[in-house]
Amino acid sequence: MVTASKDLWGSLNFANFEATPVTLLKEQAALLGEKTNNLFRGEVISRDFANSSGKGKMLHLFNVVVPGLKNRRVELFRSVHDLNAYFPIEVLKNDGQKKGVRVDNLDQFEQQISRILSDDWTKQQLQDLLSELNTRKVAVRK
């Protein structure tokens, strides 16, 4: 005899879904592929770790992946926040700077990511990858 399962969940309402830093990053990663006809793909890698004092942290790496260069990955920036809270979050561009920028809410995070994705350093990284991609295509044709 099969008995019906008793639903103990109550009403689940996901209509008020709130964006998080990682959802924003994944959206931008997807847009990179769309904007470049998939010459480049965006990739977000997230992992948790414990800092030197044992406190749980979450790390998000934002990479550009180039399928035409054997899936080479170039990290544009990373962000780190406490494991149990999204903010504050530190954003560090991978341009050799040692100090990141601390942001305290999603609007500030979005502004900081926008600055990084649209700045000259990032555009130069993409241009360098495109040049290498084009050089390899020409070498293969010869």
| pLDDT tens, residue by residue, 110-120 | 999 999 999 99
Q: Given pLDDT bands bounded at 50, 70 and 90, which one contains residue 138?
A: low
As to burial, measured by CB atoms within 10 angstroms (0-12 exposed, 13-18 middle, 19+ buried), residue 89 is: buried
Rounded to the nearest 10°, the torsion over CA 21, 26, 32, 35 is: -100
Torsion over CA of 113, 119, 122 and 127, rounded to 10 degrees?
140
Longest dimension (CA), the chain: 73
Are the beta carbons of 74 and 62 closer than 8 angstroms?
Answer: no
Per-residue pLDDT of 6-64, as tens digits, reads: 888 888 887 777 889 999 999 999 999 999 999 999 999 999 999 889 999 999 999 99
pLDDT band at residue 139 using 50, 70 and 90 as cut-offs: low
**Cα–Cα distance between 81 and 83 in angstroms, integer?**
6
